[in-house]
Amino acid sequence: MVHILTNSNSVLNDFIAFLRDIDLQKNPVMFRDRMEMFGIIGGYEISKTLDYYIKDIQTPLGISKMNLVNTKIIIASILRAGLPMHQGLLKVFPYAENAFIGAYRKHHKSNLLEIALDYLSSPSLEGSTLILCDPMLATGKSIVLTLKEMIKKLGMPRHIHILSIIASKQGVDYVKSELPSAHYTLWCGAVDDELSSQYYIVPGLGDAGDLAYGPKI
Ligand code: URA
């Protein structure tokens, strides 16, 4: 199942427009803040699909029956660009457990793209609801490799939510072709048509990690 969050109009459009805008995105404080807002809104949308239980809440005037989230949630982020979204998701699910993954692109002269995973810190995933955030789903290869490695080492989640601000059509198709559809739901702010020869999403927003945390060598 793929949800494109800007298919219906909401204030989320303003946040994504900010992140894409070549002038506005130069402010890293605001860039991280808008990414965090995306994490909050994405988390809110995901929360509508979770399991709930009924709890009696004592108010000063009586008892209110409230439906509360009844799901073991693990928030996982691909370093480093996923971190502001991770913070946003933690505001929505403050008692979630946390996982961090180091995945980077190895560029070859032939333009072949290889993804290397070099860091994984995570609790067991068995039976959990995993929310994996990666702001830019470009080729889809990092997400797919990350999920396959995590499942192999840490067990099978009950369900996986992949949350991305911008995806490419190609990335969405790759995820669909590699992961069994019953296992995951993909939530994207927007889906763009193209990938550049360097595997950047077009029009996309540029390099999310550099914009949030500064350039790397
Ligand atoms: N990572 C980014 O930061 N931007 C892209 O367009 C693709 C991958």
Q: Distance between CA atoms of 77 and 99, rounded to whole angstroms? A: 6
pLDDT of residue 92: 98
CA of residue 65 to ligand 1 center, whole Å? 44
Give whole-number Cα distances, 99 to 8, 24, 92, 107, 123, in Å: 31, 31, 16, 26, 7
pLDDT tens per residue across span 33-47: 999 999 999 999 999
pLDDT of residue 109: 67
Place of tokens 């990414």: 35
Give whole-number Cα distances, 128 to 13, 32, 102, 154, 156, in Å: 31, 28, 21, 11, 8
Structure tokens at 185: 């739901």
Residue 108: pLDDT over 90: no
CA of residue 195 to ligand 1 center, whole Å? 9
Residue 25: pLDDT over 70: yes
What percent of the chain clears pLDDT 90, i.e. is strictly above it?
A: 90
CA of residue 16 to ligand 1 center, whole Å? 14
Biggest CA pair distance of the chain: 70
- Ligand 1, atom 2, lies closest to the CA of 207
Can you give the pTM of this predicted structure?
0.95
By C-alpha distance, which of 88, 69, 170 is closest to 129? 69
pLDDT tens per residue across span 203-217: 999 999 999 999 988
Ligand 1 pocket residue status of 35, Cβ below 6 Å: no
Residue 111: pLDDT over 80: no
Q: Which atom of ligand 1 is nearest to the CA of 209?
A: 3
Q: What is the best residue among 143, 201, 205, 216 to mutate for testing ligand 1's pocket, by most ligand atoms within 8 Å of CB?
A: 201
Identify the architecture of domain 2-6+42-197 in CATH. Answer: 3-Layer(aba) Sandwich (3.40)
DSSP string, 198-209: TS-EESS-S-HH
pLDDT of residue 105: 77
CA of residue 126 to ligand 1 center, whole Å? 30
Residue 112: pLDDT over 90: no
Ligand 1 pocket residue status of 194, Cβ below 6 Å: no
H or E stretch at 119: strand 113-121
| Least confident residue range of 34-43, 94-103, 110-119, 187-196 | 110-119
pLDDT of residue 183: 92
Burial of 22 (0-12, 13-18, 19+ CB in 10 A): exposed
| Mean of the per-residue pLDDT values of the chain | 95
Q: Where are the domains of the chain?
A: 2-6+42-197
Averaged pLDDT for residues 41-68:
98
Q: Which atom of ligand 1 is nearest to the CA of 210?
A: 3
Averaged pLDDT for residues 79-99:
97
